[in-house]
Structure 1
């Protein structure tokens, strides 16, 4: 089944709030080799004016992933995980993510480009805090391979 072109313009419900924990950010920082002390040491982060440790810029993928799961679970999407690779990722921030933030993701499909039976599905995830303020926009492009059937 090809990727459903009717996905363009589709928005999924906001995800459940995700409470950003200091230890999760430390683990993520180690995993991506973000060794600046602001990512692991609350005092270093406070010295820079933050209330707690600051997430590495790519940490937003942890929040975005919840929205992507909704898209991938959509039975009529035509997106089969076994034929899908994550082709591109971008982040645009209004402010950094810090430990203690409670964040929600709201994913929308903004484009589908078909090329020789393959499809590039572009989604944007708006990440907001508990007050509803924009924190980041995460843009992903999934490359969905041609169905072999």
Structure 2
């Protein structure tokens, strides 16, 4: 089944709140070699004016993944994981993610376009804190293969 063009404009329900844990931030920082003390040392982060350790910028993918699972699980999407490649990723921050944040994410499909018989699916995930304030928008482009042999 090809990617459903009627996905464009579809907004999925908000995720359950995700509590950003200090150890999760530290683990992620180690995994991506983000060795600045602000990512692992709460006192260093506080000295810079943050309430706790600051997540590396790509940490937003941890939360965005919850929304991408909604998209990939949509029965009429036509997106088969075995034919999908993560083609592009961008982040637009209002403020950094900090341990202790409780973030909710909502994905909207912004575009589906055909490229050489394949499909490029663009989505934006808006992440807000417990007060409803914007924290980050994560934009993802998925390349979905047609599954047809050349």
With normalisation by structure 2, the TM-score equals: 0.98
**Is 1:117 paired with 2:105?**
no
SS of equivalent to 1:43: helix
Look up the SS of the partner of 1:100 in the other structure.
coil
CA distance in 2 between counterparts of 1:70 and 1:137 reads 17
C-alpha displacement of 1:148: 2.6
Secondary structure at the counterpart of residue 23 of structure 1: helix
1:90 Cα deviation from its structure 2 partner: 0.3
Corresponding position of 1:148: 148
Cα drift, residue 27 of structure 1: 0.3
CA apart distance, 1:113: 1.2
Partners of 1:136 and 1:33 in 2: CA distance: 21
Match of 2:52 in 1: 52
State the aligned residue count: 149
Write the distance in 2 (CA, Å) between the matches of 1:70 and 1:109.
11
- Does structure 2 conserve the Cα–Cα contact (< 8 Å) formed by 1:15 and 1:66? yes
Alignment correspondent of 1:22 = 22
* Structure 1 residues without counterparts, runs of 5 or longer: none
CA drift at 1:117:
1.5
Tell me how far apart the structure 2 counterparts of residues 146 and 69 of structure 1 sit (CA, whole Å). 20
CA distance in 2, matches of 1:77, 1:117: 16
Q: Deviations over 1:12-62 (max 9, x none)?
A: 000000000000000000000000000000010011110100000000000
Distance 1:117 1:148 in 2: 9
Aligned equivalents of 2:2, 2:116: Cα separation in 1: 11
Find the counterpart in structure 2 of residue 13 from structure 1: 13
What are the within-5 Å matches in structure 2 for residues 1-149 of structure 1?
Answer: 1-148=1-148
Contact 1:2–1:117 (CA under 8 A) maintained in structure 2? no
Contact preservation (8 Å) 1:88, 1:140: yes
Structure 2 residue matching 1:34: 3-state secondary structure: coil
